[in-house]
Amino acid sequence: MIHKREIMVGGGCGGDGCVSFRREKYIPFGGPDGGDGGDGGSVIVMASPNMVDLGLMGWKKEFVAGKGQRGGGWRKRGKRGEDLIISVPVGTMVSAKADSGGEILLADLSTPGQKVLVAKGGRGGLGNARFATAVNQAPEIASKGASGEERHIVLELKLITDICIVGHPNSGKSTLLSAISRAKPEIADYPFTTRQPILGAMPDDRRDFIVAEIPGLVEGAHLGKGLGNEFLRHAERTKLLIYLLDGSSPTVIDDIGTLDKEIALYKGLSHKPKIVAVNKIDLPEVQARLPEVKQCFAPILSGLGVPVFYISAVSGQAVLELVGKAKGMVDQASQDEEIIPKAQIKVFRPKPRK
């Protein structure tokens, strides 16, 4: 899965203006009638619901929109150049690289169909008809079409989800995702089966909730270990985190600490609402240790206001209760977001270069 791409975009050149004179029988000195050139097309980046990966836009590095056509006689204006639309997944942040090396956010394409113009086409040149004056009634000049804007653009995908399941490798994230959503991820008894984020839609009467599983986190993930923080970026814009713990892990009590540390160390994740789910309680050895685990977790988690569920993703035990709570917390988080408006993102719209 490709999360970040850098591309060059260029607006199309404007078409040149035309030098032409009206020549008709019985109309001597018909005058200048050269038309203007058409404007160049622009490059537009658009969020498409059918895209899930920036890799799907191909490996082209340069995207240039169509040129405007030359003007013609009879004051005919040249045809406008075709716009070039680049489709990207919903959740793509579009920035322009500044000369200083920094990045300026142009748009956060968070809804399907949302567009941003990233390189404007050049204006068409003027035909000689425009240059006629009382003193110069037969100008033989026309202007050239302007070149289009050129920019270095950075596209970064950060998935927008309602729920994100995080956990150590093999804890049962894919099994839980397939139990609660329509996704059919690969499930296997070895770590790192899932190597890229997987999205699933969880149906509900009102709307589908979008659930994601990100690959297993190991200690040091925020520093890039294991499959690393490459994927934690996709948890940045979720409304709820489900910490999924493997109940059969001999270190289940410590596991929650290491998992939480990785999440807390990654920017912007520590304040997210969370639910803890201890998985695989269908196994007899997990059942045997359950009272001890509960005794340990209950006081800490209730003190923090974090709900905890003891579930089996395989048998479905307590999964419905977990889902009910998760949906409620997502709704609450959405309402809170509406009350506290998001920090205003400054959108720069630089003027095209002359």
Ligand X SMILES: Nc1nc2c(ncn2[C@@H]2O[C@H](COP(=O)(O)OP(=O)(O)OP(=O)(O)O)[C@@H](O)[C@H]2O)c(=O)[nH]1
> What is the sign, positive or negative, of the torsion defined by CA atoms of 283, 288, 294, 296?
negative
Task: Identify the residue among 216, 222, 233, 275 touching ligand X (CB under 6 A).
Answer: 216
Is 192 a binding residue for ligand X by CB under 6 A? The answer is yes
3-state secondary structure 270-330: CCCCEEEEEECCCCHHHHHHHHHHHHHHHHHHHHHCCCEEECCCCCCCCHHHHHHHHHHHH
Length of the chain: 354
Is 174 a binding residue for ligand X by CB under 6 A? The answer is yes
Judged by beta carbon, residue 69 or residue 178, the one nearer Mg ion is 178
Q: Interface with ligand X by CB under 6 A: which range of 5-13, 144-152, 277-285, 340-348?
A: 277-285
Is 228 a binding residue for ligand X by CB under 6 A? The answer is no
Query: In this structure, what is the dihedral angle of CA atoms 295, 297, 299, 305, given to the nearest 10 degrees?
Result: -150
Is 283 a binding residue for ligand X by CB under 6 A? The answer is yes
β pairing state of 103-109 and 92-97: antiparallel
- Could you tell me the smallest distance in angstroms from the CB atom of residue 314 to ligand X? 4
Q: For residues 13-42, which are near ligand X according to CB under 6 A?
A: none
Task: Identify the residue among 194, 212, 243, 293 touching ligand X (CB under 6 A).
Answer: 194
**Hey, what long-range contacts does 267-272 have (CB within 8 A, 24 or more apart)?**
267/236, 268/236, 269/232, 269/235, 269/236, 269/241, 272/235, 272/238, 272/239, 272/240, 272/241
User: Contact at 8 Å (CB) between 305 and 314?
Assistant: no
Degrees (nearest 5) of the Cα angle 193, 203, 319? Answer: 60
Degrees (nearest 5) of the Cα angle 71, 72, 76? Answer: 85
Q: Interface with Mg ion by CB under 5 A: which range of 95-103, 124-132, 152-160, 191-199?
A: 191-199
Judged by beta carbon, residue 207 or residue 225, the one nearer ligand X is 225
CA distance 259 to 235: 14
Q: In what order do the strands lie in the sheet with 115-119?
A: 84-89, 43-48, 115-119
Q: Interface with ligand X by CB under 6 A: which range of 10-18, 107-115, 233-241, 275-283?
A: 275-283
Is 171 a binding residue for ligand X by CB under 6 A? The answer is yes
Token look-up 């089996």 returns 312
Task: Identify the residue among 67, 70, 233, 280 touching ligand X (CB under 6 A).
Answer: 280
β pairing state of 92-97 and 150-157: antiparallel
- Could you tell me the smallest distance in angstroms from the CB atom of residue 298 to ligand X? 21
Is 238 a binding residue for ligand X by CB under 6 A? The answer is no
Is 189 a binding residue for ligand X by CB under 6 A? The answer is yes
Is 313 a binding residue for ligand X by CB under 6 A? The answer is yes
Judged by beta carbon, residue 184 or residue 353, the one nearer ligand X is 184
Residue 42 contact, options ligand X, Mg ion, none, Cβ 5-8 Å cut-off depending on partner type = none
Judged by beta carbon, residue 155 or residue 212, the one nearer ligand X is 212
Is 194 a binding residue for Mg ion by CB under 5 A? The answer is yes
CA distance 51 to 116: 17
Q: Whose CB is nearest to Mg ion? A: 194
Is 312 a binding residue for ligand X by CB under 6 A? The answer is yes
Is 279 a binding residue for ligand X by CB under 6 A? The answer is yes
- Could you tell me the smallest distance in angstroms from the CB atom of residue 191 to ligand X? 5
Is 173 a binding residue for ligand X by CB under 6 A? The answer is yes
The region, left, alpha or beta by phi > 0 then psi within -120 to 50, assigned to residue 56 is alpha
Binding region for ligand X (CB under 6 A): 167, 169-175, 187-189, 191-194, 215-216, 279-280, 282-283, 312-314
Binding region for Mg ion (CB under 5 A): 173-174, 193-194
